[in-house]
Amino acid sequence: MNKFRSHNCNELRIKDVGNKVLLSGWINKKRDHGNLLFIDLRDNYGITQCIIEKENQNFKSLEKIQLETVVKIEGNVVNRSNETVNKEIDTGEIEVKIIQFEILGTCKELPMPVFTDQEYAEEVRLKYRFLDLRRKKIHENIILRSKVIAFIRNEMNKLGFLEYQTPILTSSSPEGARDFLVPSRLNPGKFYALPQAPQQFKQLIMVSGFDKYFQIAPCFRDEDARADRSPGEFYQLDLEMSFVEQEDVFNVVETLLVNTFKEFSNKKLMFDKFPKISYTESLLRYGSDKPDLRNPLIINDVTVIFNREDVNFEIFKKLVKSGSKVRCIVTKNTKDNPRSFFDGIDKWAKEQGASGMAYLTIEKDNEISARGPIGKFFSKESIEEIMKISNAEVGDSIFFACNKEVELQRIMSLARDKIGNELNLIDENLFAFCWIIDYPMFEKDEHTKKIKFSHNPFSMPQGDIDKINFDKPLDILAYQYDIVCNGIELSSGAIRNHIPELMYKLFSIAGYDKKQVDKKFSGMINALSFGAPPHGGIAPGIDRIVMLLANEKNIREVTMFPMNQNAQDLMMNAPSEINEDQLKELNLSLKVKK
């Protein structure tokens, strides 16, 4: 028999009444009635109420015991009277009458309570993470994460994928995020980089003939944190397949995500077959390349209306003449909404840095007309044209904004969220997945005005390779795709470019000559020259998947030992200074002295 326990704290039931048991766990809560003391004993599995009366010689010492002390309790299982049954806990029909106890681990005065659901400061939570992790919600989140990962591994195996590890110490890559660097002792002056993702390795795995690869892969990027972005490290379900087209990757990921989300959440999936939206269309219709499809509002371009003779809204007409565009959002059947609703949106838009949002409501007495501050500027025919473009009906209202394209996208995207929330249009009990496809291969850097890769430099351009017009690089689309759920970007992936000549050509457009490519991507480019299969893959973010399943808004709620926003581990004191000997051995000297 185990020295510490015969049962865990979520195991005992009515059928165990009369048995002598051993329980070990933490003192979650005490309720001291003077001659009668209740103790909630907690472990990983649950809570069992233990009870001791004054007659017992251990009463005094148990009465004085600190919360969160670890104890071993020996006692008898007794049933509770009907009035005292606790339906909140699984063991609520019984309690353990204490015979004797032993302290296994003492506890100092707590820097924060463990048994409450009360929120407290991140700083304290991270410093005492081992206490924080004892709390119910986060404890369950971490267990959920483990189960999700185990489930995914199993599903991937069932789909014919095998897991392979790739190096943690690798080389710095010129594209993408800032690298974390590790000095090399044996190679003075040289550095390893931690992988931002196992991108090149997984392609090399395909070239090596392994066909279907996956890995729950740690990724390291030295960028600033956000609520949904850990500083430093995060995990991806990294996968890659040979001899596939885009559609084959989609099928695998849809199967996996549908199964995973059905297994771990009660929320409904809006689509089992994920809709595909082109990058360009997404920016137009949703103002963003990560649309929240739970929100039914759609953005429409009505710029042409403002070239008409029978429209007299001069402010917009003048802006349109100088290259601005006009887009609108229709709200269904809002003719009776109070003036404050409309003005509220207008005021809000101004606060977001837009010049406000004009609005009108469509009416029909004998004929179609528009009510509202700008209604009078539109002819009957022009209103009918707007209705045609935007699918608006009598009784609907329309919000307009006018600006240069990029800024207009920004404000319309925000407005879509804002109006959707105001009108309560977003169903919190849904997961709405979609694919964003047809990303452009290149984009123009706003500052340098140079052409650069818009996403992954290893992506395959679309179309017949012989017919691609490299003189118009901004028109080249890539087999590059993202998966989005409820407005959160879960992953991006691509069919890869496995043709070296094409790779050199694309890199030359982004300003890298052959020599540079050979040097920076020697492993990759060399491998592609020795018989590379067509291949592609994707890498959904594990942390964000668990966040969605746990219904959390912050990634630290699903990460066991996260760093804070300044990329410090307050519990382990990382990063820390190192001593002179270590520096010397690494051939480093510091410019910044403390």
Burial of 150 from C-beta contacts in 10 A (0-12 / 13-18 / 19+): exposed
Examine residue 35 and tell whether it contacts RNA (CB under 7 A).
Answer: yes
Interface pattern 144-183 for RNA (x via CB under 7 A)? -----------------------------x-xxxx-----
Smaller CB distance to RNA: residue 105 or 275? 105
Smaller CB distance to RNA: residue 202 or 325? 202
What angle, rounded to 10 degrees, do the helices at 136-158 and 542-550 form?
Answer: 130
Look at strands 47-53 and 94-105 and give their pairing.
Answer: parallel
Query: Could you tell me how far CA 54 lies from the centroid of its own chain?
Result: 53
Minimal distance, residue 254 CB to RNA, in Å: 22
- Contact criterion met (CB below 8 Å) for 148 and 549: yes
Examine residue 450 and tell whether it contacts RNA (CB under 7 A).
Answer: no
Minimal distance, residue 419 CB to RNA, in Å: 19
**How far apart are the C-alpha atoms of 539 and 378, rounded to whole Å?**
49
Using only C-alpha atoms, the chain has a radius of gyration, in whole angstroms, of: 31
Q: Which stretch binds RNA (CB under 7 A): 137-145, 226-234, 362-370, 496-504?
A: 226-234
Of residues 367 through 426, those in contact with RNA by CB under 7 A are: none
Half-sphere exposure of 169 (CA within 13 A, CB side): 6
Examine residue 99 and tell whether it contacts RNA (CB under 7 A).
Answer: no
**How far apart are the C-alpha atoms of 291 and 271, rounded to whole Å?**
14
Of residues 186 through 215, those in contact with RNA by CB under 7 A are: 196-197, 199
Examine residue 229 and tell whether it contacts RNA (CB under 7 A).
Answer: yes
What single string gives the DSSP state of each residue in 554-594?
A: SGGGG-SS---TTS-BTTTTBS----HHHHHHTT---S---
- Contact criterion met (CB below 8 Å) for 91 and 47: yes
Minimal distance, residue 176 CB to RNA, in Å: 3
Q: Single out the residue of 80, 153, 262, 332 in contact with RNA (rule: CB under 7 A).
A: 80
Smaller CB distance to RNA: residue 26 or 378? 26
Query: Nearest 5°: CA angle at 447, between 443 and 451?
Result: 30
- Contact criterion met (CB below 8 Å) for 395 and 333: yes
DSSP code of 519?
H
Examine residue 580 and tell whether it contacts RNA (CB under 7 A).
Answer: no
Minimal distance, residue 118 CB to RNA, in Å: 5
Q: Single out the residue of 126, 358, 374, 460 in contact with RNA (rule: CB under 7 A).
A: 126
Of residues 512 through 571, those in contact with RNA by CB under 7 A are: 554, 556, 564-566, 568
Q: Single out the residue of 61, 99, 111, 529 in contact with RNA (rule: CB under 7 A).
A: 111
C-alpha pair distances (Å), 212 with each of 156, 249, 354, 397, 457? 10, 11, 48, 51, 22
Minimal distance, residue 514 CB to RNA, in Å: 19
Examine residue 116 and tell whether it contacts RNA (CB under 7 A).
Answer: yes
Look at strands 70-79 and 181-183 and give their pairing.
Answer: unpaired
Minimal distance, residue 533 CB to RNA, in Å: 20
Q: Binding residues for RNA, per CB under 7 A?
A: 29, 31-36, 38, 40, 49, 51, 53-55, 64, 66-67, 80-81, 83-86, 88-89, 92, 95, 109-113, 116, 118-124, 126, 173, 175-178, 196-197, 199, 221, 223-229, 452-457, 554, 556, 564-566, 568
